[in-house]
Structure 1
Amino acid sequence: METAEHDVKMRLLLAAKKLFSRQGFDGTTVRQICEEAGANVALVSYYFGGKENIYRALFDMSFPQGLLLEGEDVKKEPVKAIKLLVRKVIIYQVNDPELVRLIQQESAQETSRVEIVQQYLVPVWRMAKEILEEGRKQGVFHFRSLDNTFLYVWGGILFPRSFGFFNPILSEPLPTTEEKIADVTGFVLGALRCSAHAETEPV
């Protein structure tokens, strides 16, 4: 019985994520979620208590806790840490584009659900700022404003080619995941005027 309930819950969560990412929260009904999941229309209320709660639950299910880098390496080795963070964020984008689109929608529209999204992202943001600040203290990163640098770096990591807005002017094929990781890492370290990066990269 528990296995059957778990299966239904997962189908509902996956259906909600798919529809929210495509149609937005307000443009998606509970009935549509249940139809997509092949489940009785009453089950969203039964298992989750409504549309708002299933929204929260899909973040509990999907948000990658592995984005938080653990251990003292974050403080001791900021160059290594920023490279690892770039890799983890890009792999997360590739593996779960629906959740990425959902986050982008909420942040762009500044809805009441932004606070739900921030609960998951703020710890990652704080960690990223700590990495940048430690790199500046160690003299391997060079920048004026910590806040502005964080915003530019985070924006550069998160703006996916698949967004499509610039397609009319783009001509190259989509990069592979590893190519994107290499490109973004190079741009981020270059923007930080990273001394370790300068030693290994041609001018």
Structure 2
Amino acid sequence: MTEADIKMRILLAAKKLFAMQGFEGTSVRQICEEAGGNVALVSYHFGGKENVLFAIFESLFPGQQLPQYEEDMKDPVKGLRIIVEGVIRFKTEDPELAAILDREINMQTPRLERISSYVFPVWRKLRELLENGREQGVFQFRSLDHTLLFVMGCMIFPKCNTLHDLLLTERDRPLQEVIDDTLEFVLNGIGYRQEPK
């Protein structure tokens, strides 16, 4: 097994345990047992449990992929589509990392400032897209701050709390349908005006 394989096993084990038990509730020993390795491996490869958490975000958080969409991000509608789809896919396809992020935010942990450095580029890009779209006359809304929070909420809230599942009657909707419906709702909410063809 290569060093890269060992490191990834540690990251995946830690991600699973942090999601289930929280950062504080997970020991280095538990991470190594879950990864099937020696307890010294976390210190050797990462220098401690906190660095493992940051390495999870560095390696596995999808926001790191934004630069590959740089050309599409010049168009506010295309950029919005990319972010809406990316956030919903992240919340749906990586519930462990999403749970870690939610817990760190809700508990306002000392690690949050560094974790924010992985998340904020996505939200800053969203803000920029909304602002550019409004300047171009493609989006019609009054408050940039309020609209930013509204759009973020549309993407984040549906997967935040299972308590609300009691109100729902439609189960197991296809992911692409959820993405398309959310995007349509957001575009209508921000007064999207499609250019005449």
**TM, length-normalised to structure 2:** 0.91
**1:70 deviation in Å?**
3.6
Question: In 1, Cα distance between the equivalents of 2:175 and 2:106?
Answer: 25
Q: Which segment drifts farther, 155-164 or 36-45? A: 155-164
Corresponding residue number in structure 1 for 2:11:
13
1:125 to 123, 126, 131: 123
Corresponding residue number in structure 2 for 1:105:
103
Corresponding residue number in structure 2 for 1:25:
23
**1:4 deviation in Å?**
2.7
- Please tell me whether residue 71 in structure 1 is matched to residue 49 in structure 2: no
Q: Which secondary structure state, in structure 1, belongs to the residue aligned with residue 2 of structure 2?
A: helix
Aligned amino acid, residue 10 of structure 1? M
2:169 to 168, 171, 178: 171
Structure 2: runs of 5+ lacking an equivalent: none
2:193 to 183, 192, 195: 195
Aligned residues of 2:10 and 2:42 also touching (Cα < 8 A): yes
Corresponding residue number in structure 2 for 1:186:
184
Aligned residues of 1:16 and 1:54 also touching (Cα < 8 A): yes
Q: Which segment drifts farther, 15-24 or 167-176? A: 167-176
After superposing on structure 2, the runs of 4+ consecutive aligned residues of structure 1 that deviate more than 6 Å are none
**TM, length-normalised to structure 1:** 0.88
Corresponding residue number in structure 2 for 1:36:
34
Cα 1:174/1:162, change in 2 over 3 Å: farther
Structure 1: runs of 5+ lacking an equivalent: none
Percent of matched pairs sharing the same residue: 49
